[in-house]
Structure formats: structure tokens, C-alpha cells
Structure 1
């Protein structure tokens, strides 16, 4: 049996909303059309996906299983579409992804100068997607901050830079010129703890406490300024997003932020090798 990805997308919308009317509006289709498509999917799979009555819609056990497996299926299909599109574009375009605080302008300009007819684009990433943009084809290379999941990737080290603690200006430690990680014990870390392995080792925590971690640097700093916690950032990112209501302080006993260039190990691209050499020349710690 061949699965119809369109019906799977319809199913996912209903499973998220648990309401056929809201799902139909999200999909911009009529509710009766959506209901027919879900019934057709159930018939194809030979299972019931939803329990419905006048008051509510719920997933059946089969529906819950499909919901768990369908998200990576759709993500894989979208990644395939992007990779095929990238292959079709060939050498006419090249996309460089980069993490906040990193400046890739020099390397991008050098690549553009060497290939004036090629469109060289840039893409800002976050901890959540700095590797995913390679796996799904959005970027050809990614300037990443380690650690990352390196499976299926080639990684070339570029440089290291210090990390700093970013605190609200009224914080008890804000007047210090340098601090130790232990000085921050008891503080709320407003970022994924996996991004700061030393914090995990100190506290034993594997996930942020309330408020929820914000992935974008701008959101992190809003939380810091509101005195909801602290963040640990590479020095360049803290400097790039400088603002008067927060302060950045060096940490004496924490390792640096390690910056590297990553790309899909299965790709054999002269442009990727060329850009890797340019990145090694042009990307430096601030």
C-alpha cells in the first residue's frame, strides 16, 4: 500500500487540533472534504484513527501511533524535496548557514568574487537547527558551535572563543570583572542545558526549569533583562547583541565556544571544499 502524504498532512492537522473545524481552517479546505479524506485514510490503513462524538475528538491507539511516526515521515519527505531542488539548481546557488555572533561576510564575499554568476545566500540558525539545515538541504555548509550531532557530517575546526555569563545589570554579580561557574549555582539557566555541558555537570540538570528556554538570542536576553535567569553565551554573540539592561562577565573556569564548519559527508562538492578553505582564512574569533 502506498501512503498518500497529503492525507497524512491532513491527519496531522486534525491530530494537533483535535477538532475537525479548526484543522480544516488551518488547511484552507472545507470541513466535509477533510472528513472524507480522513475516512479514506482510515480505509486505506484498515484502522480507526479518531474517536468522535458531539463534544470532542480523540486519537485512538492507532492514531497515536501514526501521529508519532508521521512527523519524521513528513520531515523526511520535505528534506528530500529540498535536496532534489538543490541538486537541480546545481552550481547556480550556494547557501551558508551561521550561528548568532558569527560573521561570515569575508568568506561569502570571497566565494562570490570567485564565482560572480553564482547566488551565495546566508541563513541564520539556532541551537535547534544548526545541523538540521544540512540534513534537510536548506544549506550547503553551516558555521556551527560545538557540540553537535556529527553523524553523517564532516566537521572542520575554525577557532575557539571565550564564553561569558550574561546577567541583568542589577544582579548581585554584575559588578564583578570575572566569576566562576560555581558563583552561578542556584540561578536559572535560560537555555538548553545541553548547550552548556559544564552546567549539567555542576547541577545534574538535563533540562531548563521555568521559564521555558528560549532558542533565539534576542529572546534569551529579554528573559535576562526581566531578571528571570542568566545565559552563557560566546563572547561574540554577547557583544553583537549588547544592550544596557544586561551585562556580560567573563567566566574563569569554563571552556571556550568551539566554532567549526560542517557539511554533509556524502556530498562531493568542489564549492564546499573551496568555501571550507575560505572559512579557515576569513573566519576568526572577534
Structure 2
């Protein structure tokens, strides 16, 4: 049996909101149409996907399983579409992904100069999608920050850079030449603790059962800096990120006893585009030459 991807997208919209009305509004379709499509999907799969009462809509066990499986399936379909679109455009375009704080201008300019008819685009990625953008075809090659899931990728080390503690300007550590991770043990971290395992292993708020401070984990650099400036916690970032986003209400102190951040180039190991290898060589040579 073939699964209708359109019905699957409708299902995911409802499953993520657990509300048919809000899902229909997000999909820009009428609620009765959405309900019919979900019933049709249930009929095709011969399972009940939702348990609906007057007060709530919940996923059935089959619905929970389908939601877990639907994400990768829809992502693969979207990646296929993007790769086909890119192939249809031919070899006249090339896209480079880059993480915050990294400047790729010199490498992009060099590639353009070597291939005057080539359109070279750049796409800013984040911690959440830096590898996803490679897999789904949004970028041909990406400047990534480790750690990443390297399955299906070729990864070439490029450089490393120190990491710093980002603090509000009135912080007790502000103005110090350097610090160590133990000085941050009593701080609240505004990012995923797994991103700073050295802090996670000694953090006061993680070592006391039930004492972990609640609150969102922020992913965008701009969000992190806003909350640091407001005195709600600290973050640990690569040095280039902080210097790129300089602002007067935030300062930073080098942390001496944590591993540096590793910057690499990464691309889909199945791709055979010769421009990928050429760009990787250009970028590596520029770093070697100190540009």
C-alpha cells in the first residue's frame, strides 16, 4: 500500500497540535476536509490514529508510532524534491552553509572567480539544522561545528577555536582575563547542558535532585545573548560567535579547561559534484594561509 504524503502531512499537523481546528487553520483548509482526510488515512492504514472526546484529542498507540515514523519519511520526500530541483538547474548554482560567527566570503569569492557563470549562494544554519541542510539538499557543502552526527557525511577538519563564557557586564567574573569551568558551577546555563559536558558534570543545579531550574533552552545566538544580558544565566560559545555579535551589555571570559570548538567542512558522501571538492580545497587552503 502506498502512503499518501499529503494525508501524512495533515496527520502530522493534527498530531503536533492535538486540535483539528488549529491544524486546519495552519494548513489553510476547512476543518471538515481535514477530518475526512484523517478518516481516509485511518481507513487506508486500518488503524485508529486519534482518540477523540468532547474535551480532548489524543494520539492512539498507532498514532504515536505513525508520528515517530512520519518525520523521517516526510523529510526524505522533501530532500528528494530539493535534490531533483537542484539537478534540474544543472551545474550553474552552488550553495554553501555556514554557522554563526564563521565568515565564508573569501572562499565563496574565490569559487565565483574561478567559475564566472556560477551562482554561489550562502545559507546561515544553526545547531539544529547544520547537518539537516546538507542531507536535504539545501546546501552543497557546510561549515559545521562539532559535535554532529557524521553518518552519511564526509567531514574535513578545518580549524579549532577557544570557547568562552558569555556573561552580563555586571557579572562577578566580568573583566577577568580567564576563568575555569569550576567558576561556572553555580551558574544557570541557557543552552543544552550536553553542549557543555564539562559544565554538566559539575553543575550545582544538575547535581541536586529536583533542583534543576526550569525554563526553555535557547538555540538562536540572538536569543541567548538577550537572556544573558538580562541576567537570566550564562552560555558557553565559540570565540568567533561572541566577537561577531558584539554588544555593550554582554561580555565574555575565556574558559581555559574545556575543549575548543572544532570547525569542519561537511558534505553528503553520496554527492559526486566536483565543485564540492574544489570548494573544500579552497576553504582549507585559505585557513592554512591565515585568511
The whole-number CA distance in structure 2 between the counterparts of 1:178 and 1:199 is 16
- Report SS of the residue matched to 1:113: helix
Does structure 2 retain, via aligned residues, the 8 Å contact 1:193–1:199? yes
The whole-number CA distance in structure 2 between the counterparts of 1:34 and 1:128 is 30
Name the counterpart of 1:280. Answer: 284
- CA shift at 1:283, angstroms? 4.0
Q: Within the alignment, does 1:130 sit opposite 2:130 as a pair?
A: yes
Aligned length: 285
- Report SS of the residue matched to 1:16: helix
Q: 1:12-91 to 2 correspondence within 5 Å?
A: 12-91=12-91
Q: Deviations over 1:110-153 (max 9, x none)?
A: 01111121111101111111111111111111101122111121
Q: Deviations over 1:17-43 (max 9, x none)?
A: 222222211111112211211111111
- Higher mean C-alpha displacement, 70-79 vs 51-60: 51-60
What is the aligned counterpart of 1:216 among 204, 211, 220?
220
Name the counterpart of 2:275. Answer: 271
- Report SS of the residue matched to 1:29: coil
- Report SS of the residue matched to 1:232: strand
Does structure 2 retain, via aligned residues, the 8 Å contact 1:106–1:283? no
- Report SS of the residue matched to 1:188: coil
- Higher mean C-alpha displacement, 29-38 vs 101-110: 29-38
The whole-number CA distance in structure 1 between the counterparts of 2:213 and 2:131 is 25
- CA shift at 1:93, angstroms? 0.9
The whole-number CA distance in structure 2 between the counterparts of 1:232 and 1:112 is 35
TM-score (norm 2): 0.92
CA RMSD of superposed structures (Å): 2.0
| Change in CA separation of 1:255 and 1:124 when aligned onto 2, cut-off 3 Å | same
The whole-number CA distance in structure 2 between the counterparts of 1:160 and 1:50 is 49
The whole-number CA distance in structure 2 between the counterparts of 1:203 and 1:87 is 49
Unaligned runs of 5+ in 1: none
Runs of 4+ that moved beyond 6 A: none
Q: Deviations over 1:154-182 (max 9, x none)?
A: 11111122211111111111121111111
The whole-number CA distance in structure 2 between the counterparts of 1:173 and 1:188 is 14
